[in-house]
Amino acid sequence: MFRILLIFTIFLYLVTPNILFAETRGPATPFPTIDELVGTDLTYKIAFLWMSHVANGVFRLEKGDQPGTYRALLSARTRGVYAWLTNHRIQSYETLMQKQVQGKLITLTHDSSIEKGEDETRKVRTKHYIFDPDKGTITVSKIADGELWWEKDLPFTGDMPVDILTAYCNFVTGAYGQILPGVTYVVPAFGGKSVGEIKIEILTEAERTDFGLFPEGGLLCRFTVDAEIFDTGDGAIYVWYDNKSRPARGIIEDIVGMGDIRGVMR
């Protein structure tokens, strides 16, 4: 369940305040560059069932150590009594990306980490991914408290898959195309065992639904991912952007039959 909460915050970040409204964006309107997005720092609170604030999510984008590289970090932690119930769980995604000549970003490395406990009881489990487009492989290793448990190479064919944070940066910088109602993008994404996809639909006015959460106006997008990738089951993910183009509200439908997860920008 906590992994779903974290993934939900990722989709809330898919369009930043720097992105203009679809209704006002024309073909000649420039997207922000990745360098203009450096310094992005966003926070959200996540609610589930009757619980109004289960976890906090934080996203940060900064330059990497080498020229043309960028580092994105997404971290979420439970709070209050929910922190006690989950043993003070923190889940983090960190990606090192590189900008190509044509402007699109590729994933160099990606880390998915789970931290539990405090002080002497602290335990950290990490999956480390190295993407190699020349060999057509992704090397995956499992690291527990600093020790290597196992390592294996997973092949891929066709377009190089990316992780969710690289997909985010490509989307908001226009690498996939314009953000216009009625447009759909399908992005190859690596989900841990094989290559899947992320489907991004920018809904028209006729396709909109409010769930009692989304005000009039703004822009509503629907995201669909392979169940294997993010353990979200079959529920669609909706994100609403306000009149300042901020990803202000979102919802995941009917998670494992227990209800909807809601997110609100802080």
CB neighbours of residue 122 within 10 Å: 13
Residue keyed to tokens 């940066």: 169
Q: For residue 110, which of 3, 13, 228, 191 has the smallest C-alpha distance? A: 191
CA dihedral 163, 47, 223, 181 (to 10 degrees): -130
What distance in Å separates the CA atoms of residue 57 and residue 204, rounded to the nearest whole number? 29
As a whole number of Å, the end-to-end CA separation of the chain is: 22
Spatial distance between the Cα atoms of 103 and 100, rounded to a whole number of angstroms: 5
**Domain span holding position 165:** 2-265
Its pTM stands at 0.77
Count: domains in the chain: 1
pLDDT tens for the chain, residues 1 to 266: 455 555 555 555 544 444 434 344 444 346 788 888 888 777 766 666 656 677 777 788 999 999 999 999 888 777 777 778 778 888 888 999 999 988 899 999 999 888 888 888 889 999 899 999 888 888 989 999 888 899 998 888 777 888 878 887 888 788 888 878 888 988 887 766 667 788 888 888 888 776 667 777 777 888 777 665 555 555 577 877 776 666 677 776 655 444 566 655 56
